[in-house]
Amino acid sequence: MKKVHNFNAGPCVLPDQAIEKSIEALKDFAGTGMAVIEVSHRSKEWGEVMDECRSLWRELLNIPDTHEVLFLGGGASMQFLYVAMNFLEKKAAYLETGVWAKKALKEAKGLGDAYALASSADKTFSYIPKGYVIPEDIDYFHITTNNTIYGTEIRYDIDSPVPLIADMSSDILSRPVDVGKYALIYGGAQKNVGPAGVAFAIVRKDALGKVSRYIPTMLDYRTHIDGGSMFNTPPVFPIFVMNETLKWLKGIGGVEAINKINVHKAGILYDEIDRNPLFVGTAAKEDRSIMNVCFVMAPGYESLQDEFMAYAKERGMVGIKGHRSVGGFRASIYNACPVESVEALVSCMQEFAALKA
C-alpha cells in the first residue's frame, strides 16, 4: 500500500486500528456471518456497539448524567437547524468566527431573532473576538470552537450566563472539555471521531422543551433521546468506525494524553512556519488552532506557491492545499495524524527553502 502523509481537512486520517477493525466487521460482524452493514440495528450485537460507543463518549469526556449522547444523521449542517428548532424562542446570539459559524447563524435567522454578538470578519476571521459581553436576555449563545478554514480555535470553556451551545466538529476529543458548562455540544464525526455520515450531540436534557413552537419529530432531540438514537435506522457503519476510533483513543491514554500529543505536533509545525523565511502563518498567534494549521508563502515568495505544492505532493504530502475561499496551505493534524507526518512536512518545507536560498 502506498504510504502518504494525510493532512486532509475532512474526511481525514483515522487510526489504522479503527480501519482494520472496520474491514474485519465488513467481512463478519461479531461472528454473525453478516457484514456490519447488513445486520439489523435491532439485533443484540448492534445494541452492544451502541452501548459501548455511548459509554466511551461518557468516559473520555467525563460527561455528566445531566447530558445525553446522541448519534444522528445529517452532519453538523443539519445540527445548525436542530439548534434553532430546539433552543430558539425569542432571541439568540452567535460568535461569528468563520464560514461554519455564519452558516449556523443563517439557519437560526430563518426561525427567529438571531444575530452576531461579535465577529472577526473584519480581518478575514484570522482571530477570535474578545471583549464582548454575553447578554442575559437571550435564549442561548452559540460558538464554533475550531475554525477549519481559517485555523483559529477557542481552547477554553467560556463562562456563560445563558445556555452555551458549541459546534465542536473539528476539535472534539482533542482536549479536555468541561461538558457541564454546555447545554449542547455537537459536530460532524469526520474530523476526529470517524467517517462522514454521523453527527454527535451531547445535550443537557433539562435544557429541552423550552420552546413553544412545533418541532418536527425528526428535528426534536427528545425524539432521539427516547429512541436511544435509533428512532429510525442509524448510520450503522459510521457509528461502528466511531466506536473503534474511541477505543483507540482510550487505549493511548484518552483525551489528556492526546491533548499533549496535539500540542506537541502543532508546536513543531508552527515553529517551522515562524522560522522559515518562505512561509507565514495566517491566524493570530494567540488564537492558533492545534487542529488546522494555516499558512501562506511569505511576501515576496508568492510566486512559489504552486511549485511548493507540487514539491510537497511528490514527497507524499496529501491535502495541504488551503480552502478554496482563502488559498495558501492548510495542514489538518487531527488526533490520528502521526507526529511522523508533521515532521515529514517540516522537513519538506526546510528542504524547499534550502533549494530557494
What amino acid positions are annotated as catalytic residues?
Answer: 100, 167, 191
> Considering only CA atoms, which of 292, 286, 271 is closest in space to residue 349?
271
Grid coordinates given for 268? 513543531
Q: Are 194 and 238 in contact (CB under 8 A)?
A: yes
At 144, is the secondary structure helix, strand, or coil? strand
Grid coordinates given for 315? 514527497
> Considering only CA atoms, which of 348, 281, 354, 356 is closest in space to residue 313?
348
Q: Are 266 and 152 in contact (CB under 8 A)?
A: no
Q: How far is CA 352 from CA 83, 159, 166, 292, 312, in A?
A: 46, 45, 39, 22, 9
Provide the 8-state DSSP code for 288.
B
- Which residues neighbour 30 within 8 Å (Cβ) at sequence distance 6 or greater? 39, 45, 48
